[in-house]
Every structure is written in structure tokens, then in C-alpha cells.
Amino acid sequence: MDAEPGSDPQGWLASEKLDGVRALWDGARLRFRSGRLIAAPAWFLAALPTAPLDGELWAGRGRFDAASAAVRREQPQHSEWRALRYEVFDQPGTAGPFVERAHRLTALLQGAAPFLAAVPQQTLPDAGALQRRLDAVLRAGGEGLMLHRADALWLPGRQPALRKLKAVHDAEALVLAHEPGQGRHAGRLGALRVQLPDGRVLRIGTGFSDAQRDTPPPVGSVVTYSYRGRTASGLPRFASFLRVQDAL
């Protein structure tokens, strides 16, 4: 769920939105959100606590592709994993409101391995402070902020008490069809026709590399796209392709 610019941050904790690969640790195994095991090096797993963790395997701002490539390999490359950090933002299944879980998480990971850390959570007094924090993150090359209700209890699945605040929003859609290209793109992909979660159809014609136009995301796959605001009818404006959401 997206937060609107000018939102009041009272009652929320803010943290930077990290563009990494979601990873869940159950105390013994590291898994993708789908439940599939992540082939992490033994030295990486040995540094994790027995407590459950939820976070992002992150290679730094603007380096999602590097993180994604590293964690997908069946045989981990140690050099790639040494460039990753496990940035943790919650403890699945634990009691108490989010603000208490965040404090416990910080204490748990204090002094841990250099690649393991709790994502810093910040209270902000008003909408102006929230906007200044967002601007600072964007200037540094970040994507935006995450807002989490301080009093929210942990729940499985998507968190209704969690919101994204970004200059550019993103969302997911199901690929229905490929529209042929014209001119320079003749003979390859021109646009994707996709279905939104509410059933409406949207056309995405920008954001593709030449390689992606030659081999487009298959029909039936789920893609992530960016957009800026919405039309009067509620459709995303200026939709641009970002990436395929693999079934990890």
C-alpha cells in the first residue's frame, strides 16, 4: 500500500525502502518469500541467530540486479555474497507491537556479523520532517521510505500496517499479451498488455531494454512496473516496466 505525499507520520516508524531480495530466516533455514530455500554460504548462515528474521538481502542502492543474481544461484559465489548485507526489519511470529519488536531486534543484532543489521527505524514529528527524510533518501540514490505503524502486531502475509512512500510508485500486474512493435521495434515487443489486481487492463510500452523486447516476459508471468500518479478513473499514469517477478 502506498502512502500519500504529505502524510502525517504520527504513530508510524519510518525506514529506508531497500531494493533487495526478501529473505526469511526461521532459525535454521533461509528462504525466499515463496518458501524455496536460498543457497547461502555456510559462513553466512552460521552468523545468523536462532531467532526468526524477516529482511532484505541487499547489495546497496541501485544494485538490485546484483543481489538478485547472487541469491538465485544454486551454487553460491562467495565473492558475490560478501557484497551482500542482510538488512532485517522484523521478527516473524513474535509478540508485541512493532515498536517493541524493532527495539528487541536492534538489541539482538547489535555486535553481530558486519553483514547483518537491523534496519534503522525513525520517528518523525510531522509531514515536513517526513518529506525532508524522503528527499534525503532520494538524493542519496534510494527508492523511498517504508512506514510501519508503531502499534501494529505481527501478521502473516501482506501487512496492512505497512506503507511505501516513494516519488515514483510501483505495482505488480499479470501479463495477458504481447503487442507487436512498430518502426525501430518492428518484429519484436512493442508493449505488454497486463491485468491489474482489480481486473482492469493496462498497456505498458516503456522501460524495456532491447534484450527484453527481443525476449519479452512470458504471458502468465507477473511483472513489476513503475508509475507516477493515477488518472481520474484510477488507472496508473506513465506506466514503465521494471522487472519480472520470478516465483522465488
How would you classify the pairing of strands 116-118 and 144-149? unpaired
pLDDT at 105 (0 to 100)? 97
pLDDT at 55 (0 to 100)? 97
pLDDT at 178 (0 to 100)? 97
pLDDT at 5 (0 to 100)? 62
Identify the three-state secondary structure at position 172: strand
Backbone angles phi, psi at 139, to 5 degrees: -60, -30
Beta-strand runs (E) in the chain: 12-16, 21-25, 30-31, 53-58, 85-90, 116-118, 144-149, 162-166, 169-180, 189-195, 201-204, 222-227, 240-244
pLDDT at 1 (0 to 100)? 62
User: What is the domain partition of the chain in residue ranges?
Assistant: 1-167, 169-244
User: What is the block-wise mean pLDDT of the chain (248 residues), using blocks of 10 residues?
Assistant: 76 95 96 94 97 97 90 96 97 96 96 96 95 92 92 84 85 96 94 96 95 95 88 86 78
Mind spelling out the 3-state secondary structure of 143-159? CEEEEEECCCCCCCCCC
**Residues annotated as catalytic (active site), given as ranges:** 17
Q: pTM of the prediction?
A: 0.71
Neighbouring residues of 136: CB distance < 8 A, sequence distance ≥ 6:
none
- Tell me the CATH number of domain 169-244, given options 3.40.50.1820, 3.40.50.2300, 2.40.50.140, 1.10.10.10: 2.40.50.140
pLDDT at 138 (0 to 100)? 87
- Tell me the CATH number of domain 1-167, given options 3.20.20.60, 3.30.470.30, 3.90.1170.10, 3.40.50.261: 3.30.470.30
In angstroms, the CA 248 to CA 232 distance is 35
CB of 201 within 8 A of CB of 188?
no
